[in-house]
Amino acid sequence: MSAVSDRLPVFPWDKLEPYKKTAAAHPDGIVDLSVGTPVDPVPELIQKALIDAADSPGYPTVWGTPALRDAITGWLERRLGARGVTHHHVLPIVGSKELVAWLPTQLGLGPGTGTSKDVVAYPRLAYPTYEVGARLAGAAYVVYDDPRDLDPTHLKLLWLNSPSNPTGKVLSKDELTGIVAWAREHGVLLVSDECYLELGWEADPVSVLHPDVNGGSYDGLVAVHSLSKRSNLAGYRAAFLAGDPAVLGPLLEIRKHGGMMTSAPTQAAVVAALSDDTHVQEQRERYAARRTALREALVHHGFRIEHSEASLYLWATRDEPCWDTVGALAERGILVAPGEFYGAAGERFVRIAFTATDERVAAAVRRLAG
């Protein structure tokens, strides 16, 4: 077996440690806007559901309880406009990052036959785990600006990410429709990472599961959804897939063999979370206020914000190398993520999360104004 360093890229966040120490030395403490981790309380109705299910001595099932599958299909119809979804169209997963990292392997992708490897494609600016997943499987990987410009010859898995991490860019319904048609024409499995779909600010994100996009068929399509952001459940590792039963059925069998099951209390918590829209709206309002405050402060400080019409981040630049920006903000006690973590095209940008508390966001605004 090859060394880990040969199979995987350097873990990017380790490079941020010196800047974190600088920011932490600020007299008023660090404002960490680098990682988009939720900081607000888990809604009480979700906590109660978890506690009520705490006495769960038996093994949970990988496919989840019927109540969980009902909650997922109900949410898909209510929130995404999906039609005709059944329990066979859904699959719970142990957080979305696990799925992204292992999906190519679970699909059987890898070196392929002869001299040509199977190919995984993902956006030029993207969450680093798409590359990690291809590497773990031994597959080749390519990046794109428009996936319809790719050579489909050995392309087996096409990742979409709308709203985007890191840029917050949203693909329009027309763009999604065209990409779905292209993928089907070339027999390419399309997997759409839609974990920020309920966090649109200047756009209304649309799922590939919407009938206006897919023509009423889920063939060749899978969407990934997470409760980490919309319900503050990052610590619960709660997510799910939805789409083509011909893809999800084999994945279910593989995941049974691998013991990839969501805990029974978490499954109960997800039922509560997906059955309630009020807490989602309340959390959106918190994020909207933080986003507005940070965006205005950054613009007044000389930043330009690009895209950022959705998600939990501002994609910002001062038209300088990203590490210069990271260093300058660290001197003010503010830690942000360098854009190069998400691809070479981000080398002059930083990603700024607005997932800090109201008090820490207010501190960042004061420091940017000073």
For the stretch 304-342, what's the b/e string if a residue is b when 16 or more beta carbons lie within 10 angstroms of its beta carbon?
ebebbbbbbbbbbbbeeebbebbeebbebbbbbbbbbbb
Q: 177 is written with which tokens?
A: 């429709």
- The Cα–Cα gap between 71 and 271 comes to 5
**Segments forming the whole domain that contains residue 318:** 4-41+279-369
220 & 178 share domain: yes
252 & 363 share domain: no
For the stretch 149-164, what's the b/e string if a residue is b when 16 or more beta carbons lie within 10 angstroms of its beta carbon?
ebebeebbbbbbbbbb
C-beta atoms surrounding 286 within 10 Å? 17
166 & 301 share domain: no
Residues 6+ apart with CB under 8 A from 152: 186, 187, 188
From first to last of its 370 residues, the chain has per-residue pLDDT tens of: 455 556 677 777 889 999 999 999 999 999 999 998 999 999 999 999 999 999 999 999 999 999 999 999 999 999 999 999 999 999 999 999 999 999 999 999 998 655 688 999 999 999 999 999 999 999 999 999 999 999 999 999 999 999 999 999 999 999 999 999 999 999 999 999 999 999 999 999 999 999 999 999 999 999 999 999 999 999 999 999 999 999 999 999 999 999 999 999 999 999 999 999 999 999 999 999 999 999 999 999 999 999 999 999 999 999 999 999 999 999 999 999 999 999 999 999 999 999 999 999 999 999 999 8
73 & 161 share domain: yes
152 & 78 share domain: yes
Backbone phi, psi, residue 273, to 5° = -65, -45
CATH of the domain at 283: 3.90.1150.10
187 & 239 share domain: yes
203 & 256 share domain: yes
- Given 275, 303, 330, the domain boundary residue is 275
Instruction: List the Cα angle 131/134/138 in 5-degree steps.
Output: 135
28 & 152 share domain: no
CATH of the domain at 101: 3.40.640.10
- Given 246, 275, 304, the domain boundary residue is 275
* Coil, strand or helix at 350: strand
C-beta atoms surrounding 56 within 10 Å? 13
290 & 270 share domain: no
214 & 327 share domain: no
Domain tally for the chain? 2
* Coil, strand or helix at 188: coil
What one-character-per-residue DSSP string does 6-47 give? HHS---GGGGGHHHHHHHHTSTT--EE-SS----SPPPHHHH
- The Cα–Cα gap between 295 and 99 comes to 32
